[in-house]
Structure formats: structure tokens, C-alpha cells
Amino acid sequence: MPAFPLHPECPDLRRLADDPTEALLRAEADVVAAENAAEADRYRRLEDLEEAQQDGRGVTRRTFVAGAAATATTLATAQFVTTSASFAATRTGTLIHVFLYGGLDGLSLVAPADDPVLAKARPDLLLGGDSLALGRGFTLTSAFAPLEKWLRAGQLGFVPAVSDERLSRSHFQAADACNLGGLPSETGGRGWLDSLVDALGKGTAFRSVGIGSTLPRSLVGTNGALSLNSVGSLRLNGDDRYRAATEKAIRGLFTG
């Protein structure tokens, strides 16, 4: 590939990446970042000048922030540093966390076998004779039979009746503690998955994705996270001048 310096201070594409498309995307992201930084400096100088000359009646801080934010969308391209990272091809794999908000009664999934108290109090929830035997006298509903081979291989486990003595019996309080990984006073209101993102180090823009109409409580925090009902519903906000170019750059990385 021939040398193609985009800027006197920018190396040729061959030094950015082995793949030509990825190298070009990196170069474009660097150029966009430099342009945004220059634009921010311009607004800042203009604001300082106007405030000095007109006693603050010039370009307000709100105007400056809005102007700088209008070009921030394109900075997302700088986060797509490699195609392998974009495809989540990491050494540790991908973590999928499923939280059922009241959608599953734990005793209909895992329950103590032949328990007289359970039989008296909730006879309608007793597991049938075809349930799967677990350790410590518990059984698993037969609906999980397709997963039995992973259960026997030690790759699937259940921890029933987990609680915290500091909590009440409120379902909502317990759900909040599960999402936060502790009490609100201990976690600062940050979800445990958001804290995990910090521990995992730097990544790409799509490293935290919640499925649903709102962002899951476990992902709320200081890191950027997406929330969408489907891939087709994803939309990029920001300046119209850069939206098409950003979508094209992302589409080039996520093809196939």
C-alpha cells in the first residue's frame, strides 16, 4: 500500500494498521479528533474575548458547550480501534447478564425435595417426580433437562435463597441490591456491571449494551452504555454533517 500522509504530523497508513480499511478509519478518527479539539479551542477563545469586551454578553458558556457537543459524535469512531475488538473477539469472551424482574419464582425452579413445610405452605409449587436431582437435597425443574449435560459437567450451578440480613423482604429493595451489587450507600448508585467495566479497562463503544426500552440498573454509572430494543432500532444522534460518515465507518467494521 503506498504511503498516504494525511497530515505532516500523521504517519502514513501502513504504520497505523495492517488492514488498509482499518488504517484509513484510524487516520480519519485522528483527523476528526484534531478538528474537534481545534474547534473547541476556537469557541473557548471566542468566549473569552467576548466576555472580556462585553462583560459576559457575548458567546455564553452554554453556547460554547452546545457547539462543542455538536461535533462530539464523530469522536466515537476513535473508540473502534480494531476490528477484532469491535467483534468482541476478546480473550475472556462476552458476559451476558440476564435479570428476571419477578418473572420467575425461585421455588418453581430450584426447591428442596420432600420438604414438609413447602408441601404444606405451597403445594402447587412442588416439583414433579421427573425433576433433576441436585446436591444438598435440592431438585431442579424438568424444564431444564436440555441443560443437564452442563449441570453434570460442573459448568452450570444454582445458588438458591440468597439474601442480605440488612434488607427487608421487599422484592424491589432486593432487586435494587442485586443490580447495584450492594446497598445504595455502599455503591454510590452505580450498577455492578458499570463498576465491572472500570475493572476490565479500556474497550470499544459497544462494550456495554442493555436490551430493553431503558438502561438496566446494573449498567447505570459513569461509563457510556447503550440501551436498545433491537439492533434495527439503534440511531446515532448528533450533528447531521457527521452522522452519515460515522454510520459508514461503523458499518465498515461490523460487516459480516
- Among 142, 157, 172, which residue terminates a domain? 157
Would residue 8 count as lying in a domain? no
Q: Tell me the residue range of the domain where 152 lies.
A: 110-157
Residue pLDDT, tens place only, 179-214: 999 998 899 889 999 999 888 877 766 678 888 888
Would residue 150 count as lying in a domain? yes
42 three-state secondary structure = helix
CB 6, CB 31: distance < 8 Å: yes
Would residue 141 count as lying in a domain? yes
Confidence band of 48 (pLDDT split at 50, 70, 90): low
Which residues have CB under 8 Å from 183's CB, separation 6+?
166, 177
Residue pLDDT, tens place only, 9-37: 555 666 677 777 777 777 777 777 777 77
DSSP bridge partners of 110: 140
pLDDT recorded at residue 12: 65
* Cα gap 69→67, rounded to integer Å: 5
Domains: count for the chain: 2
- pTM value is 0.56
* Cα gap 208→89, rounded to integer Å: 15
- Among 157, 178, 194, which residue terminates a domain? 157
* Lowest mean pLDDT across 2-11, 123-132, 237-246: 2-11
